[in-house]
């Protein structure tokens, strides 16, 4: 099964990175129910509009047979009249729903007829209608007769999270990193994929489907079995000795050990790999190739630069800082460092 289908949300709680919109929908359902409701879901491509519309439609109808789904540009007068004809009969299951995707592409004639249809739906015990749109139609459309304003005004208007929002981007990256880990897709920069895909979750899932699957790449070396109660013996640098004695190979080995420790503590592979990736990113960005190079000033400068650039959200930067601090703490625990130099960050 394709990743896009495997991870298509089946309930509102499974929709990624849309907490505010989902809370708005759930509160409205709790107050008014779904019968006789009309919805207008506005948001960028791939952010969950169609999934949300199908979830609430299936929750209401309890069957796929009474859901009619159309695309805005193809909606004709006959389509609208056909749905009105169906409204004369009690539906199978619990109710009946009309979903119109890409509502921004509706013709003016369709909008005029839908104004009357929405009024009928709102007065019905057995019907519901959901529109999805990629843009704010009130900004896009020249609407001298206020038909678009009247149509959206008769619906519960839900605006999905802005793809420019740092919070949205943080949550999307974390969600997709988890998916990649579960599917065995490693060595992929999710942040870059998201940027190339315009932050469309669906587009990134499709991209992940084309990636080679395999285990987490680790350094293949023979390691003795180390008891959790015994610290691994690691050669420490002699005072004044060049730090190159502890080079990138040692860093890689230490990261392997930290991952093993995290798994032993009950963390899954996806989480431990995500922490490792963040540690490696900070080490690489800071030019750190040995434990001796992990200094508070260096990491604090990296954090300040990240916040100034604004590429990553504050929450994401904090997650990277937490990861590198955990690595520094681990090195102190195994006596590679005398203490954790990042404790005060």
Residue ranges and CATH numbers for the domains of the chain are 18-159 (3.40.50.300), 226-345 (1.10.150)
Q: What is the dihedral of CA 98, 104, 108, 111, to 10 degrees?
A: 30
How many Cα atoms are found within 13 Å in the side-chain-facing hemisphere of 260? 15
Note whether 262 and 271 are within 8 A (CB): yes
Per-residue confidence (pLDDT) for residue 241, from 0 to 100: 37
d(CA 279, CA 276): 5
SS3 99: strand
Decide if pLDDT at 235 tops 80: no
Give the whole-angstrom CA distance, residue 117 versus residue 270: 48
Q: What is the mean pLDDT of residues 301-329?
A: 86
Q: Does the pLDDT value for residue 27 go beyond 90?
A: yes
- What is residue 115's predicted lDDT score, i.e. its pLDDT? 96
Residues 191-196: contacts with CB under 8 Å, at least 24 apart: 191/312, 194/169
Sign, CA dihedral 295-301-307-310, equals: negative
Q: How confident is the model over 169-211, as pLDDT tens digits?
A: 999 999 999 999 999 998 889 999 999 999 999 999 999 988 8
Q: What is the mean pLDDT of residues 164-170?
A: 90
With 0-12 / 13-18 / 19 or more C-beta atoms within 10 angstroms meaning exposed / middle / buried, residue 280 is middle
pTM, full prediction: 0.62
pLDDT for res 225: 37
DSSP result, 286-318: HT--SGGG--HHHHHHHHHHHHHH-SS-HHHHH
5 φ, ψ to 5°? -80, -40
Cβ–Cβ under 8 Å, residues 207 and 193: yes
Name which residue leads in pLDDT, 142 or 46: 46
Instruction: Encode pLDDT of 92-109 as tens digits.
Output: 889 999 999 999 999 999
Who contacts 327 (Cβ-Cβ below 8 Å, separation ≥6)? 254, 255, 258, 279, 294
The predicted pLDDT at position 345 comes to: 87
| Alpha-carbon gap, residue 42 to 306, rounded angstroms | 31
Residue 23 pLDDT more than 90? yes
**CB of 292 closer than 8 Å to CB of 246:** yes
Chain-wide mean pLDDT for the chain? 85
pLDDT single digits (tens) 263-292 = 888 877 667 777 888 898 899 889 888 888
């Amino acid at each position: 099964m394709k990743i896009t289908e495997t991870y298509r949300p089946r309930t509102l709680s499974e929709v990624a990175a849309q907490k505010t919109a989902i809370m708005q929908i759930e509160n409205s359902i709790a107050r008014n129910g779904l019968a006789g409701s009309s919805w207008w879901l506005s948001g960028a491509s791939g952010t969950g509009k169609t999934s949300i519309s199908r979830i609430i439609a299936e929750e209401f109808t309890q069957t796929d047979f009474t859901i009619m789904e159309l695309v805005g540009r193809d909606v004709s007068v006959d389509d609208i009249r056909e749905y009105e004809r169906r409204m004369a009969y009690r539906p199978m299951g619990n109710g009946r729903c009309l979903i119109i995707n890409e509502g921004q592409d509706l013709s003016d004639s369709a909008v005029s007829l839908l104004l009357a249809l929405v009024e009928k739906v709102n007065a019905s015990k057995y019907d519901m209608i959901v529109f999805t749109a990629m843009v704010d139609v009130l900004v896009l459309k020249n609407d001298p007769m206020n038909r678009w304003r009247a149509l959206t005004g008769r619906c519960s208007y839900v605006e999905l999270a802005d793809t420019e929002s740092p919070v949205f981007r943080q949550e999307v990256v974390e969600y997709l990193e988890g998916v990649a880990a579960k599917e065995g897709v490693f060595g992929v920069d999710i942040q870059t994929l998201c940027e190339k895909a315009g932050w469309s979750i669906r587009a990134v899932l499709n991209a992940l489907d084309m990636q080679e699957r395999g285990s987490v790449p680790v350094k293949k070396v023979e390691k003795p079995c180390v008891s959790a109660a015994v610290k691994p013996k690691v050669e420490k640098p002699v005072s004044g000795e060049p730090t190159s004695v502890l080079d990138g190979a040692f860093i890689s080995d230490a990261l392997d050990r930290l991952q093993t420790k995290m798994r032993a503590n009950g963390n899954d592979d996806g989480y431990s790999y995500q922490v490792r990736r963040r540690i490696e990113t900070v080490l690489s960005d800071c030019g750190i190739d040995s434990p001796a190079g992990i200094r508070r000033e260096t990491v604090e400068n990296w954090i300040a630069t990240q916040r100034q650039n604004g590429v990553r959200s504050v929450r994401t930067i904090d997650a990277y800082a937490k990861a590198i601090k955990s690595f520094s703490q681990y090195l102190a625990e195994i006596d590679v460092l005398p203490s954790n130099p990042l404790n005060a960050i």
